[in-house]
Structure 1
Amino acid sequence: MEHERLQGNSNGRDEGFWDFSWDEMAEYDLPAEIDYVLKTTGAQTLSYISHSQGTAQGFAAFSENPELARKVGVHVALAPVAFVGSTDSALFQVASYLP
């Protein structure tokens, strides 16, 4: 409930409190998180390990924000979110059947 306290929302039931999407997390939250870690540790770069939705946020944030991308030494993307069903690429067609 820390986020609610910081936002001044006493019960978390306000619709606006939950009105956000992964692309906004990529644009605002991920850069803030990375800057916080770098400022706190004094490091110049960090390793970003992401899973599922976090991979989408990372790919979006790093492709749209080159300055942010330079702060990440390595991005380990575990189980990236992807849909390849409508592609014509033979490689992606075969890969879509792999476990």
Structure 2
Amino acid sequence: MKLTSKAVPSARRQEPKRLPVKMIKSIMIYNCDDSRIKLKNMLGEKWEVKMEAARRFRAMALLCRQTAARQPERSWRLLAEAEYWEHLAAAALAQ
């Protein structure tokens, strides 16, 4: 059995396609005008963590108030706990 070698064309290195200048400017304008990104860069990740913590604290306060409406015999304790959760939410945002 005789092996024959065929010439394989060498792979040419292709230049990456360039975006039109108009498209590049529109992408830059979009990124520069994004106020959420500016705010995130200014405040960092801590801002999002604080907002998430405040959201969870307020959800707990809401749950306490709803439970107080359904259980009048424990309402005083549940309303005090709801006030505590609201205080934690305000403190989380104030830091």
Normalization by structure 2: what TM-score? 0.22
Pick the structure with more strand per residue: 1
Pick the structure with more helix per residue: 2
Normalization by structure 1: what TM-score? 0.21
